[in-house]
């Protein structure tokens, strides 16, 4: 005879632990979604008010009166602490319309800054920044390029994006800044990144003997460098030698070609002119004809060198026309960086668009620079920091290309 199975009088709650865990997870997710929805509503309202406040809006007359149209707020995302949302540009609008009001818009939303990333059509993504990317240091990792067309790091911009530049791009580089503003440290980092590339030759003139010279002993670059002020004729002779190499390349340009592509046998020549105004002043004090010879060689390099795979990197405390070989010479530099300088010096190199930043930039911390370049006009950045001078010397000794 069978009997019905008996059931325990007391239920074992241990088997329900998974049930409670699931409920807790659902409650937590519900609270997260509610918080996300509240944040989205708050930011949507603030975005509309902020856009109207900076004039990023259109006024439309309707039957009920005048209404204000602002860039439409799309979807909010918060992933690993990064807050972004999409927005639709106004008809006829461009991403730059938002970028030029970036700081004011970001502050109205309760953030330090923002970045605008185009998505497609009239939609862009707004990336909100919690802190100032220029405030903290930007260490240069052990990045070594192997080709002239590889990107070297210039710095990190205000929107948090790392900016780079390939030496093979047709642009000479002008760098200015007061003593201690970060000009030399930037140069150390730049040269350390390209010193090992087999299709790059680092040549030039350095009256200080710190950027070029002794640190490069034993490398393939050293024979193309001149330092110090004891023998100014050596500087003129080196520049003449570089011009002669440029002419040779132009004369032997292959048919149906209008520029030299850097190779290991015909490398890109980066002509570094450290404290070039000082070299000119020293030459003028000794012999005006010598100064003219030096100026003439540099003018030829900056005006004709790009097609022959020559790039000039000129460094000066102030890019005054008569200090760098004239206004024509200064105009040949497409990529321009200014570390801390007086406001007028900033305008002198970057144009009137930089005037509004003059008072702020005149008091910038070391390592903060103002950049003008094709595709990156009027951008502030923090240059990468390689380390002290000893670290620069160590990297050149370790990675600098040796003569074959």
CB 311 within 8 A of CB 268: yes
- Residue 64 marked in a binding site: no
Inter-residue contact 109 to 67 (CB < 8 Å)? no
Q: Confirm or deny that 183 is annotated as ligand binding.
A: yes
Is 181 annotated as belonging to a binding site? yes
Question: Closest by alpha carbon to 354, among 330, 333, 337, 334?
Answer: 337
DSSP-derived 3-state class of residue 368:
strand
Taking only Cα atoms into account, the Rg of the chain, rounded to an integer number of angstroms, comes to 29
The verdict on whether residue 177 carries a ligand-binding annotation is yes
> Which residues are within 8 A (CB) of 97 and not within 5 positions of it... i.e. 6 or more apart?
56, 89, 90
Question: What's the distance, Cα to Cα, between the start and end of the chain in Å?
Answer: 101
Q: Tell me how far apart the alpha carbons of residues 341 and 282 are, in angstroms, rounded to a whole number.
A: 23
Write the burial class of residue 299 (CB in 10 Å: 0-12 exposed, 13-18 middle, 19+ buried).
middle
182 is an annotated ligand-binding site residue: yes
In whole angstroms, what is the distance from residue 43 CA to residue 35 CA?
12
Torsion, CA 129, CA 132, CA 136, CA 142, rounded to 10: 50
- Does residue 184 have a known ligand-binding role? yes
Known binding positions for ATP: 177-184
Known binding positions: 177-184
């Amino acid at each position: 005879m069978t009997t019905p199975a008996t059931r325990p009088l007391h239920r074992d709650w241990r088997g329900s632990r998974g049930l409670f865990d699931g409920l807790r997870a659902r409650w937590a997710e519900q609270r997260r979604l509610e918080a996300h929805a509240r944040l989205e509503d708050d930011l949507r309202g603030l975005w509309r008010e902020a856009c109207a406040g900076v004039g990023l809006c259109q006024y439309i007359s309707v039957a009920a009166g005048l209404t204000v149209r602002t860039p439409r707020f799309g979807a909010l995302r918060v992933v690993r602490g990064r807050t972004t949302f999409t927005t639709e540009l106004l008809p006829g609008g461009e991403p730059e319309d938002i970028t030029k009001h970036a700081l004011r818009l970001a502050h109205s939303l309760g953030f330090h800054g923002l970045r605008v990333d185009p998505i497609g059509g009239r939609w862009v993504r707004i990336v909100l920044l919690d802190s100032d990317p220029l405030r903290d240091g930007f260490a240069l990792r052990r990045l070594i390029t192997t080709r002239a067309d590889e990107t070297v790091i210039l710095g990190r911009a205000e929107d948090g994006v790392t900016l780079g530049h390939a030496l093979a791009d047709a642009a000479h580089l002008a760098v200015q800044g007061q003593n201690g503003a970060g000009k030399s440290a930037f140069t150390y980092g730049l040269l350390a990144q390209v010193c090992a590339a087999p299709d790059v030759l680092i040549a030039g003139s350095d009256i200080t003997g710190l950027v070029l010279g002794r640190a490069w002993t034993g490398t393939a670059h050293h024979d193309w460098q001149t330092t110090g002020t004891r023998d100014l004729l050596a500087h003129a002779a080196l520049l003449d030698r570089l011009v002669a190499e440029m002419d040779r390349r132009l004369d032997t340009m292959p048919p149906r070609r209008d520029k030299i592509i850097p190779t290991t046998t015909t490398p890109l020549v980066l002509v570094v002119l450290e404290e070039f105004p000082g070299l000119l002043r020293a030459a003028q004090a000794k012999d005006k004809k010598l100064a003219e010879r030096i100026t003439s060689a540099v003018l030829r390099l900056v005006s004709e060198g790009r097609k022959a795979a020559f790039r000039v990197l000129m460094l000066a405390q102030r890019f005054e026309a008569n200090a760098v070989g004239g206004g024509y010479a200064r105009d040949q530099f497409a990529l321009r960086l200014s570390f801390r300088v007086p406001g007028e010096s900033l305008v002198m190199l970057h144009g009137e668009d930089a005037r509004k930043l003059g008072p702020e930039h005149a008091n910038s911390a070391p390592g903060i620079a103002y950049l003008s370049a094709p595709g990156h006009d009027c951008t502030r950045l923090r240059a990468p920091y390689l380390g002290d001078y000893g670290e620069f010397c160590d990297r050149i000794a370790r990675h600098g290309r040796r003569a074959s």
